Amino acid sequence: MNAKQISIYLLILFLVFLIVTDASQAGDFGRQFFDWIGTGLGRFLDFLDSLFETDGDNEPGTALGLW
């Protein structure tokens, strides 16, 4: 078994543990987790957009003025 397979099995076992301990809380935790991932991804994409925005003359630039 490689590390990827082990991590997948551990993730499955963790999900089973959450469901067995308290199924209603597991659902809430899952929704909060995916909301956190979506919010973080949106903020990261906003960061990249602002970092590599164009200056109006269609030439790429950075917020640091490196280009």
pLDDT tens readout for residues 15-65: 888 778 887 777 788 788 888 888 888 888 888 888 887 655 555 555 555
Closest CA to 51 of 67, 64, 38: 64
- Give the model's pLDDT for residue 18: 78
Task: Kindly report the length of the chain.
Answer: 67
Predicted structure pTM score: 0.44
Distance set, CA 55 to CA 20, 38, 65 (Å): 54, 28, 10
